[in-house]
Structure 1
Amino acid sequence: MAYETILVNIEEGIATITLNRPEVLNALNSQVFEDLADAAQTLGSDDSVRAVIITGGNKVFAAGADIGQMASATAVEISTGDRPSQRALNLLENIPKPVIAAICGYALGGGCELALAADVRIAADNAQLGLPEIKLGILPGGGGTQRLPRLIGSGRAKELIFSGDFISAQEAWRIGLVNKVVSPDQLFEEAYKMAKRFASRGAVALAMAKSAVNEGLRMDLEAGLEYEHKCFSLLFATEDQKEGMKAFLEKRPAKFQGK
């Protein structure tokens, strides 16, 4: 897969999406979002891909949106446009397989919102995360006001959004914004190790589990429990469920086929 602003590599069932605009600290513009949206759809439908890592490389994740592209936009243009950032991040969030963000350096504004669309976030100890849009007279418009409160609670999310301040990787871990903090030289290795662990599980069960969590967050508890039960029940029609339980009873590793 060849793209203008990202690199995509698939190895051992793990797809890695690397933002590739180093000259502007991986700033996110409409072309980046177009490429991310296409990659999300392609990888999501590729049965050979079992997990996805998204990274900006070993210097910076993404320093935010391309302000030069947005500065002259009017309210009418923004309100009637096709919302490329929300579309791309929604597609990434709903890839039916685990998505891990490997964050080194800055993950600011749209970069932070991109990380929020992943299922799991691993940060290098030099990472800084934040939503500084308020300092530009705007608010996070790529899902930040919705995903961040659902992840860390409304009080902490409002503090970050209202102040526009950056936080360290350790503080991000403390408040639950990232799952793990490692040294920069261990970042990709740790992300790959986690992706391989996820990929060894049953692909259908993983997709159902992700759907149950994501959809359940949009429902009240009663509806969420009903949706969980539906997903749980459907898995008993899969070959992987039969293999998983048989392997458990036979005290051997399961050999899942994604069926």
Structure 2
Amino acid sequence: MNDQALLFEIDNGVATLTLNRPESKNAMNMPMRAALRDAIYSIRLNRSVHAVILRGAGTAFCSGGDVRGMTVQSAEEGRNRIDDLHSWISQLVDLDRPTIAAVDGVAYGAGFSLALAADLVIASSRARFCMPFMKLGLIPDCAAFYTLPRAVGLARAKELIFTAREVSADEARDMGAVLEVVEPETLHTRAASIARALADASPVAFGLSKRALNMSLGSDLRTMLELESVTQAVAFTTDFHREAVRRFRDKETPLFTWPAA
């Protein structure tokens, strides 16, 4: 797949989705949304993909929705527009493979939300994050009501949404929305290094862990303990676990190692 608004490539088990409208700071228009939907559906069905990177072309991640295309005439049309987003953003949030957002420049509005839909956000030192919806008389979308409070806490999420203020990469990291801040010239190398490492992790253990984490804040202790018991039983039976134990006993190189920064 190679759409004008989205570049999609797979290399050695790592899929890279590049938002490709640099002239508009990768504002998300309808063709880009359709391409993202198709790409994410394709990845879900392709078990040879073990990790995903989200990035933007040029010096921006995504400036949000394309305001010039926001010509909604009725509540029904507006709801359908957002429901179309939900059809694929939920698939991304729940994807049982690791996803890394490599954020350079602006991540505004839906761009901030898209980054938060990833498991990990790596930002360049010049990245800037903002939920500007209040300025347009709108509410956050692309699952931000789910992802933002989980990343930064409820009080901080309220502040970011109500004030519509911009935060730097360092402040976003201190809040918990960003994992690492790196220099712009090393951003994509670092994101690729993390994706490659996670692609080598146990796909079963990763998928089960991600599912449990996504459920944890909406579940009680008994539910999570039962989920832990059932999923660990599955993980014990995997070839990855058996090989990892053998390597540990024989003092051999581990199957999975987090890459040093």
TM tier relative to shorter chain: over 0.9
Q: Tell me the secondary structure at the aligned position of residue 101 of structure 1.
A: strand
Deviation at 1:70, TM superposition (A): 1.7
Alpha-carbon separation, structure 1, partners of 2:57 and 2:21: 10
Unmatched runs of 5 consecutive residues or more in structure 1:
none
Deviations along 1:125-169, one digit per CA (max 9) or x if unpaired, are: 101001100110111122112210111101100000001111110
Distance change in 2, residues 1:84/1:29 (3 Å): farther
Could you tell which deviates more after superposition, 53-62 or 220-229? 220-229
Contact 1:58–1:184 (8 Å) recurs in 2 = no
TM-score, normalized by length of structure 2? Answer: 0.92
Alpha-carbon separation, structure 1, partners of 2:204 and 2:254: 14
Contact 1:64–1:111 (8 Å) recurs in 2 = yes
Alpha-carbon separation, structure 2, partners of 1:41 and 1:86: 13
Runs of 4+ with deviation above 4 angstroms: none
Q: Which residue of 2 aligns with 1:167?
A: 167
Could you tell which deviates more after superposition, 211-220 or 162-171? 211-220
**What's the RMSD between the two structures over aligned residues?**
1.7
Q: Which residue of 1 aligns with 2:20?
A: 20
Alpha-carbon separation, structure 1, partners of 2:179 and 2:255: 28
Alpha-carbon separation, structure 2, partners of 1:82 and 1:125: 32
What amino acid is aligned across from residue 238 of structure 2 in structure 1? Answer: T
Deviation at 1:238, TM superposition (A): 1.8
Q: Which residue of 2 aligns with 1:134?
A: 134
Deviations along 1:143-201, one digit per CA (max 9) or x if unpaired, are: 11221011110110000000111111011011111000001001001101111111222
- The reply on whether 1:191 has 2:199 as its aligned counterpart is no
Q: Which residue of 2 aligns with 1:222?
A: 222
Deviation at 1:65, TM superposition (A): 0.5
Contact 2:21–2:57 (8 Å) recurs in 1 = no
Distance change in 2, residues 1:11/1:144 (3 Å): same
Alpha-carbon separation, structure 1, partners of 2:158 and 2:111: 18
What amino acid is aligned across from residue 18 of structure 2 in structure 1? Answer: T
Contact 2:22–2:58 (8 Å) recurs in 1 = no
Deviation at 1:58, TM superposition (A): 4.0
What amino acid is aligned across from residue 28 of structure 1 in structure 2? Answer: M
Q: Tell me the secondary structure at the aligned position of residue 33 of structure 1.
A: helix
What is the percentage of aligned positions where both structures have the same residue? 37
Alpha-carbon separation, structure 1, partners of 2:100 and 2:181: 13
Alpha-carbon separation, structure 1, partners of 2:127 and 2:53: 17
Give aligned pairs, total. 256
Alpha-carbon separation, structure 2, partners of 1:252 and 1:205: 21
Q: Which residue of 2 aligns with 1:111?
A: 111
What amino acid is aligned across from residue 90 of structure 1 in structure 2? Answer: S
Distance change in 2, residues 1:187/1:27 (3 Å): same
Q: Which residue of 2 aligns with 1:6?
A: 6
Deviation at 1:254, TM superposition (A): 5.0
Could you tell which deviates more after superposition, 212-221 or 167-176? 212-221
Alpha-carbon separation, structure 2, partners of 1:88 and 1:41: 7
What amino acid is aligned across from residue 9 of structure 1 in structure 2? Answer: E
Deviations along 1:13-33, one digit per CA (max 9) or x if unpaired, are: 211110011222111123222
Contact 2:82–2:141 (8 Å) recurs in 1 = no
Distance change in 2, residues 1:81/1:167 (3 Å): closer
Q: Tell me the secondary structure at the aligned position of residue 59 of structure 1.
A: coil
Alpha-carbon separation, structure 2, partners of 1:18 and 1:24: 14
